[in-house]
A and B are shown apart, each in its own frame.
Chain A
């Protein structure tokens, strides 16, 4: 987004990308699973931290042996990375939400942590411009905790099962809306096809693929950033690129790693700290719609899903045994995983055939509190394939997240029960930190240079011509997927940059 915005303002940009430009017609192709060497299991031990990986897509993720990282074995962190032009925006789930002042002014609401230095009103004009680019579909509902947007209106009808769920949820003041999702264009809703082509058309963008940045360089006389040292991914050849302004958007933890290895932008001592994400429970509840068993679902009963934004702790002083909130992302019409069925052999087949298409399941997504003790730092003992020191990551969920997600699971189960669904299984076990691929907060913004890395324009307090435009700038992340907020912040910061350059301040 920074390249898109800056180049359209007439600013010449050089983009260094650690990965290749991928020819999707060449690197992808259909295959039956039985042709894979490991019958779909994947090579054992290849991507131990990437639970999203399978044998089909294993080559799209960063090789953990090439770019390792470390953590306490008792506290796993799942750092999921993509290195190719377009990055993770090629593979995201496209869930597109705005933050609200429940997040921007969270401290005012419940006293924990810090407020952002901006409010919803500051970012709203940019959300309004980003959503049409990504063609976000959804419904405007007027929720204070999930602001409306500029959507392609989703007027699709609810299925019978969804109506039953909505009816039961409404009695508990739990809202349900259609998923808000970027529809993009063609195969992707990515910077690859939605942002970079326009930037290139401007004639102001040069992209260098396979450029693995080691560090940002600083002019000793001025203290300003003056470029970056990088390695060619294939040959290892080290090169230097000059720049008047350096914009870092390598994703939260990679950007943090670059800054830490550069030994800049950390007079506050908080660079790398306050790492947070959203905590996930997948298949938290597995239910069955009884009327849909044995293939007897009447037309229109099953199918479709919904999204329930945060509905707890919206009123100050009404907290449960946790603060902040969570969301439900649920669907109807699937078939339960065989693991949930206490049978085997022909009995298991019979049960699966009975349940086929009758399932209801949910992913529970909760806010994680940004805490100083969750951090990423340089592990000086380990380097990557280009000799660049790697990250050591420490992240643990707290009692707040455990209590919140137990509440989430129990509540979803109760609504299913009230809707007349049969509960097949439930659990409240969170996946390891990092699983959501929403790492945030390690270069957080703030008005106080002693407690934050960036100011409200995503600009380093210490190095005035250094900007960081990914999720690392977040102060709190809420329960919402962060992509629309990252893009909006990046657009806002880039327009500020352009203004400052024009005014001669940068």
Chain B
């Protein structure tokens, strides 16, 4: 085992050394008799470049970056206007801002879901479109206006399926089936957002961080 451990240490050491190699590729090896480490800033001859100070050559700058949501607005285009309005209203009701934490609207969850569902297989797209249209139809039937224009009490009446006990089987009713999926998706799109992370969580649990696997070679 000792031999293996020593080999491993050697390997790790090699890994640490490797990044410095590219900086040396363009340099000549010192001529015989010439000190390998001349004083910084003193060229050995007129054609030799001045080696930069060790700190500048070895330390790479830390470049801060942002996710696009921090500086740009999403451009939803998948859902029709009435569908998207219903999704926005639904998102605000299912995941409101609580105790200072970002809600679904602050997290731009509807806009994100427009992108996600637009990039999804057709069965999921159909589930959403049919569900949002069913939501509007139910609202119009009971209150003669689309879901986006309902007040809180009216919306609660239409969302009654979400107050039914959970069952493993998907509900037979398309609206109930959609609402179950939307409840989970809107929550995930919210708690996993940058806005939710930045705001006080208000007792809610942020989606957190994890170990990301980059593509394998």
Contacts and interface: CB of A to CB of B under 8 A. Distances in A.
B163 A30 contact: no
B94 A345 contact: yes
A34 B124 CA distance: 23
Interface string A31-46: 1111110111101110
A124 to B, nearest CB: 27
Interface in B15-42: 15
A186 B203 CA distance: 34
- Size category of the binding interface on chain A: 35 or more
Interface stretch (A55-63, A369-377, A391-399): A55-63
A44 to B, nearest CB: 4
A198 B214 CA distance: 29
B160 to A, nearest CB: 10
A198 B4 contact: yes
B215 A59 contact: yes
A120 B189 CA distance: 51
B109 to A, nearest CB: 9
B15 A56 contact: no
Most buried by B among A31, A35, A57: A35
A56 B211 contact: yes
B15 A25 contact: yes
Contacts of A38: 116
Contacts of B205: 335
Interface in A408-429: 425, 427-429
Nearest to B109: A39
B216 interface: yes
Contacts of A39: 112, 116, 188-189, 192-193, 207
A365 B15 CA distance: 43
Interface string B143-180: 00000000000000001001111111100000000001
Interface stretch (A67-75, A253-261, A336-344, A487-495): A336-344
Most buried by B among A29, A41, A54: A41
Contact of A198 (B1, B69, B164, B167): B1
Interface string B111-127: 01000100111001000
B184 A344 contact: no
B67 A35 contact: yes
B212 A28 contact: yes
A400 interface: no
A59 B216 contact: yes
A349 B197 contact: no
A33 B197 CA distance: 9
A28 B214 contact: yes
A32 B94 contact: no
B212 A339 contact: no
A117 interface: no
Interface of B: 1, 3-4, 8, 15, 67, 69, 93-96, 98, 112, 116, 119-121, 124, 159, 162-169, 180, 183-185, 187-189, 192-194, 196-197, 202-205, 207-217
15 contacts: A26-B214, A27-B213, A29-B212, A29-B214, A38-B116, A39-B112, A39-B116, A39-B207, A201-B3, A201-B4, A338-B183, A342-B163, A344-B162, A346-B96, A349-B204
Q: Which 3 A-B pairs have the closest CB atoms?
A: A427-B168, A44-B120, A56-B210
